[in-house]
Structure 1
Amino acid sequence: MKSIVAKALFNSHSYSEYRKLVSDLLSDGKSTGNDQSEDLTHYTSLNEKRMNRLEKTITVSEDVIAKLQNLKNHYIWLVISEGWCGDAAQILPILNKMAAQSNKKIDLRIVLRDENEEFMNQYLTNGGKAIPKVIVICKEAGIVRTHWGPRPKGATDLMTNYKKEFGVIDEKIKTDLQLWYLADKGISVQEELVEIMENIKYNRL
């Protein structure tokens, strides 16, 4: 497992590198990932606009900042993502702001799902390659402590209940999901991640 994590870290990007990679591909009419299609390129273009907006509007609460800065250890958040993923576009700008205000307690790195299949397969959700997934690595110990994702609980419940009722994931629920993120303003991601970070000290792996 350690070698798989090390390989993923070697292949990872900083937030700014990830944004540039996605943007450069988009300018060539492409998206990240093994599959290429007009739909995926369209989703990537929408995500670029979302991330640009969120970078300007998302704020991290003072309570969350204090809790991050008070962490006893230093961590890497290694996030599995792709440019076409709508959830990743909503979540990554929040993670970037949290890491930036953590007093260097958090180092954010991003790795592409399709280029790191062996790593992705360690963190499946109900057997599927759902993203984003945040893998929390303790820098001092060099081991994975916990993970989070692919969505906050409220967003997960929204999707689960819709699929249970209608049996499909269609454009309506995709729109509803984006509206949920808009109304939530990044609060759920912040609160859930801070909670799991604070609980790491009780997890003696």
Structure 2
Amino acid sequence: MKIPVAKALFNSHSYIEYRKLITDLLIEKKSTGNEQSEDLTHYSELNETRMNRLDKTIKITEENSSALKSLKNEYIWLVISEGWCGDAAQLLPVINKMAVESGKIDLRIVLRDENEELMKLFLTNKKKSIPILIIVDKETGSVLGNWGPRPQAAADLVNDYKKEFGVIDETIKTNLQLWYLHDKGISTQNELVNLMLNL
């Protein structure tokens, strides 16, 4: 388990580096990942706007802030992402704020398509769904748990839609973005804090 994680960490980005990577690629009309298309570039552009807004507006609740500051050990949150991923754009600003708030968590981000070996260890229903957050003990390098690709209520929303209509289309993508807008990162905070406290 450790080798793909160690390899990924070696090539990982800080949040600021990840954001810059996406911005620089967009200047060239590109997105992250092996596949390039107008759609993926368009999603990356939308996501950059989203992340800029969320970086300014996301607030960590007082309760979650206290819990994060009370963590005894130091951790690495290793997140598998891509710039075109809508869920990642909604979640990474929250995850980043939580890591900063804690003072005990170092956030590192890697790209899915560049880390095939790592991604294979964290499939969701046999799919390469992202983002996936991997919790690593900073001292020992052990993987303690993982979370993702989205909060439970958002996952239920998508699964229910897929059961009913058999597809993931623009309608559910819009509904999902609206869900994130109303949730304001609270579900993500609560789920991750609970996970950390239960370690």
- TM-score, length of structure 1 as denominator length: 0.96
Residue 192 (structure 2) aligns with: 193
The number of aligned residues is 199
1:154 alignment partner in structure 2: 153
Equivalent-residue separation in structure 2 for 1:140 and 1:53 (angstroms)? 34
Aligned mates of 2:89, 2:78 — CA distance in 1? 15
**Counterpart of 2:172 in 1: which secondary structure?**
helix
Q: Secondary structure at the match of 1:77?
A: strand
Instruction: Report the alpha carbon displacement of residue 198 of structure 1 after superposing the two structures with TM.
Output: 0.4
| Corresponding position of 1:44 | 44
Letter of the aligned partner of 2:129 in structure 1? A
The aligned runs of 1:88-107 (5 Å cut-off) are: 88-102=88-102, 104-107=103-106
1:120 match: 119
Q: C-alpha offsets along residues 129-168 of structure 1, whole Å, 9 cap, x if unaligned? A: 0000000001122110000000000100000000000001
Task: Provide Cα deviations, 1:69-128, integer angstroms capped at 9, x if missing partner.
Answer: 1111110000000000000000000011111111x2111000000000000000000000
Identity fraction in percent: 69
Moved over 3 A (4+): none
Q: Which amino acid aligns with 2:99?
A: A
1:89 alignment partner AA: A
Instruction: Could you tell me which runs of 5 or more consecutive residues in structure 2 were left unpaired when the two chains were aligned.
Output: none
CA distance in 2, matches of 1:167, 1:5: 35
Question: How much does 1:30 deviate?
Answer: 0.2
Q: Which secondary structure state, in structure 1, belongs to the residue aligned with residue 113 of structure 2?
A: coil
Deviation, 1:4, is 1.1
Structure 1 counterpart of 2:20: 20
Shift of 1:169: 0.5
